Amino acid sequence: MSAKGKRGTAVPGPVGVIGLGHMGSAMAANLVKAGFEVVGTDIVARYRSALKKAGGTALADARAVGERSRRIILSLPSEAALQAVCADLAASCLAGTIVIETGTLPLAAKIRARDGLAGSGVTLLDCTLSGTGAQAKTRDLAVYASGDTRAIKAFRPIFAGFARACYDLGEFGNGTRMKFVANLLVAIHNVAAAEAILLGVRSGLDPATLVEVIGNGAGSSRMFQVRGPSMVNRTWDEAMITGKVFQKDLKLIGEALKDAASPAPLFCATLPLYTAALAAGHGEHDTAAVYEVFERMAGMIPEAAPGPRGRKAR
C-alpha cells in the first residue's frame, strides 16, 4: 500500500488531507501528481468529488482519514474545525502518526491540539504555508515547519510533493510566529502600494506604467507586484483574500504584537484603512480595495461603473 514518491523515499501508506478548500485541494492534487496515494475529506461534498477527479480517494470524515493514513495534512478554516478534527484523529490514528497543521490560527489553539494528540502518540507539527491558493496550484509554496525535528524530517518527502521549499524553524509554534511576521509585512505592503499608486496617479503618471516600473525597482515588494495591478485595474472583486477574512489575520497579528510587547507603528497605521474598506462596502472584495479608500479620502468620488476612474479632486 506504501507509495514510492518520485524522490524515491518510502512513505508509510497514503497521505491524508483534511480540508479540501483552495489550499488543501491544490496540495492534494500536487501530491497525486508527485506519485503519492492521497486520501482526503471535507465536510463539503463537492470538494470530496473534486478530490476523486484529481486522482485521490475521498473518505467520509476525518476519523476515516485517521484510520487509513500515517501522514496527515490539515488545511482547516477555523479554530473550531481544528478542535473537532483533532478529537476525531485522537480517537482514530495509530501511534506514530504525524499530522501537520498548515493554517493561520491562534497559536494557543495549535498548542492545545498538539497536547491533545500527544496522548494518542500522534505528533502534531505547526507548519504554516507561505503562498496564495494560486501559488499552491503551481507548487509555489514555502513551508514554515516547526515542532519535533525528526517528524519534520520524516515529512520532507511529502513537503517536496506540494511545496518548493521547507524551512525547519525549530520549536513548535515558530511556524506560526514566522507567518505572523510575514503577514504583518503583507498588511503593510498592500496599503503602501495603494498609497504609492495614489501619489503617482495624482501626480499625473500613467497607472499601468507606474505599476510596471515601480514593481521592477527599489520600491518594489511582492505585494506591490501582486496587488498593484488589481488596484489600477480595479479588479478587486476577484478576491485572493477578502477584506472580511483578512480581518482575522489582522486580529492574530495584533495579538502576536501584544504577546511579544512589540511596537508596530506602521501595522497600526494600516488598521483604519482596512476598517474603512469594510465600512465602504469592500468586505467581500480583495484587500486591494483599500486603494478605493485612498481615493475617497482624496475626494475622488467613485463612479458607479467598472473601468478606470478620473484623478481630479473636485
Task: Please give the residues from 254 up to 313 whose contact with its own copies meets the rule CB under 8 A.
Answer: 254, 256-273, 275-276, 278-281, 293-303, 309-313
Q: Which of 154, 226 has the CB closer to its own copies? A: 226
- 75 dihedral zone (left: phi>0; alpha: psi -120 to 50; beta): beta
Q: How many residues bind its own copies (CB under 8 A)?
A: 95
CB of 66 to its own copies, least distance (A): 31
Residues 213-252, interacting with its own copies (CB under 8 A): 213-214, 216-224, 226, 247
- Please identify, among the stretches 45-53, 90-98, 112-120, 163-171, the one whose residues bind its own copies according to the rule CB under 8 A: 163-171
Q: Candidates 195, 233, 235, 242: give the one binding its own copies (CB under 8 A).
A: 195
Query: What distance lies between CA 236 and its chain's CA centroid?
Result: 18
Q: Which of 111, 213 has the CB closer to its own copies? A: 213
189, 286 Cβ separation under 8 angstroms: no
Q: Which of 120, 225 has the CB closer to its own copies? A: 225
Q: Candidates 21, 167, 229, 284: give the one binding its own copies (CB under 8 A).
A: 167
Residues 122-161, interacting with its own copies (CB under 8 A): 130-132, 142, 144
Q: Output the CA–CA distances (angstroms, integers) from residue 279 to 243, 275, 292, in the order listed.
A: 10, 6, 12
User: CA-CA distance, 83 to 79, in Å (whole number)?
Assistant: 6
- Please identify, among the stretches 71-79, 84-92, 116-124, 253-261, the one whose residues bind its own copies according to the rule CB under 8 A: 253-261
Q: Output the CA–CA distances (angstroms, integers) from residue 21 to 17, 28, 103, 215, in the order listed.
A: 10, 10, 12, 30
161, 38 Cβ separation under 8 angstroms: no
Question: How many other CB atoms sit within 10 Å of the CB of residue 13?
Answer: 16
Q: Considering the rule CB under 8 A, would residue 47 count as an interface residue with its own copies?
A: no
Q: Which of 42, 126 has the CB closer to its own copies? A: 126
- Cell numbers standing for residue 26: 491544490
Q: Which of 16, 243 has the CB closer to its own copies? A: 243
**Residue whose grid cell is 480583495:** 286
Q: Nearest 5 degrees, angle CA 286-CA 292-CA 294?
A: 125
Residues 83-112, interacting with its own copies (CB under 8 A): none
